[in-house]
Copies of this chain bind each other. A is one copy, B any other.
């Protein structure tokens, strides 16, 4: 470790309180892309933070909310990292289970006596986003030069499917492709203290299944009296039966032909899963998730294979009719019934291919009138162990965390294919530090993990620069 790195790490220790406070301030600024609440203010705040770092930063239009872009060039001879993150969050209003207000950034002591910073976005993704910006600030404050250049791409629409990203990437492809690698910071330490590096992400496809009465049958004009259910098709029953045909008794997607298009897993991935299965702690995993029982799928290997090697379909929302105040509903055949779902696809499986199979599967069973509406889609993506950016992140985490493990994929989706496939640069995802509760109530990060997280980022920057330069002997400007 160089003297410069040592000085930066010491400075990160020294600014612990300031770093935590910076994250808390960001949580207190809601930025709910689903509703628009606070998004514009958060975008401005991130841009200002970049400007304060000395970056050339600005807001550029996304679909509905701006993308924060910027560059921070230390020395054109150094390699460049593309720092991707999101500044938007999922909604929390009306969500059951919060023990503190979701945008108060309260400190809560957990059962193990650890202090949690609780709030919407703490873990996904304001902790890592603001923690990484604080890391960059630590270099400036310590008077230490950054070991690489940065390009920033911080979007505010990730939680609604990144609708503005394609146009942005298309318009900036050359500049983005000139970066050496992308990275996405993450509090990657689980509840057992294992820091997990994942080599990819599943793809995410938002699909609405919708049945409305019409020429095929059912109420054609408006809801009709329930007594006619003996004679009139019910869109709700058709939706229920169509959905039920898509899964087995373990809720696994069993669409006709799907197994034929899922590539067989790579032996390297199976080996990573086998290693993970040997260490799998079901009790701790359940506690992390907030569940009493996992599905009864057999061995730990079976569970992890299911998680990492299969395409899944989750029901995000069901809606038909109206539940009134007082918890009753009018006795009607609702004209329309809907299910909002998210389909998660593994690498090598194109979203459109699965949608085509679902369409054919439903048609084959007489559900031609069940609409399958694509709301957004991006495919899975992969990184590999031998990329400098990946190896650097694993190295850096190993310096600051006792137990670093590698898994093939993250079942949580992120549009990393934009980097690996569209822009065509490798990426790495991870970092030291524990958090949990993404999208759910009482989302948190551990307060004591803010410093280790920042240290893992600082060390990652050094290792990336070293490995990248070693790999290419590169000295010229890229980004």
Contact = CB atoms under 8 A, between A and B. Distances in A.
Interface of A: 34-35, 90-91, 94-98, 159-161, 202, 204, 206, 213-234, 236-241, 243-245, 247, 249, 251-252, 285, 289-295, 297, 303, 306-307, 310, 312-326, 328-335, 337-340, 342, 344, 366, 375, 410-413, 438-442
Nearest to A411: B227
A438 B344 contact: no
Contacts of A333: 314-315
Contact of A215 (B224, B292, B312): B292
A156 to B, nearest CB: 14
A108 B440 CA distance: 50
Contacts of A442: 222
A289 B285 CA distance: 53
B314 A229 contact: yes
A317 B334 contact: yes
B222 A96 contact: yes
Contacts of A293: 215-217, 233
Contact of A314 (B220, B226, B243, B312): B226
A328 to B, nearest CB: 6
A222 B439 CA distance: 10
Contacts of A328: 34, 160-161, 206, 340, 375
Question: How many copies of the polypeptide does the oligomer hold?
Answer: 2
A312 B438 CA distance: 42
17 contacts: A34-B330, A214-B292, A217-B295, A218-B291, A221-B441, A225-B438, A225-B439, A225-B440, A230-B411, A231-B294, A240-B244, A241-B249, A314-B331, A316-B331, A316-B332, A318-B337, A319-B323
Contacts of A325: 34-35
Interface centre among A34, A243, A329 (most CB of B within 10 A): A329
Contacts of A245: 244
A310 B226 contact: no
A233 B338 CA distance: 20
Nearest to A214: B292
Nearest to A243: B240
Given A234-B314, A317-B334, A328-B375, A227 B291 contact: no
A310 B230 contact: yes
A96 to B, nearest CB: 5
Given A96-B222, A227-B411, 12 more contacts: A95-B223, A217-B292, A221-B290, A226-B316, A227-B412, A228-B307, A229-B314, A240-B315, A249-B366, A316-B330, A316-B331, A316-B332
A401 B69 CA distance: 78
Contacts of A322: 91, 94, 317
A161 B326 CA distance: 13
B223 A97 contact: yes
Nearest to A442: B222
A131 to B, nearest CB: 20
A440 to B, nearest CB: 5
Contacts of A218: 291
A164 to B, nearest CB: 14
Nearest to A285: B231
A318 B241 CA distance: 13
A395 B297 CA distance: 68
Contacts of A237: 243, 247, 251, 315
B228 A411 contact: yes
Contacts of A337: 315, 318
A470 B339 CA distance: 61
Contact of A332 (B35, B231, B324, B440): B440
Contacts of A306: 230-231
Contacts of A240: 240, 243-244, 315, 318
A340 B204 CA distance: 31
Contacts of A314: 226, 229, 234, 331, 333
Nearest to A376: B328
Contact of A312 (B206, B221, B229, B321): B229
Contacts of A91: 322, 324, 330
A399 B316 CA distance: 58
Nearest to A201: B227
Contacts of A326: 34-35, 160
A330 B229 contact: no
A146 B310 CA distance: 77
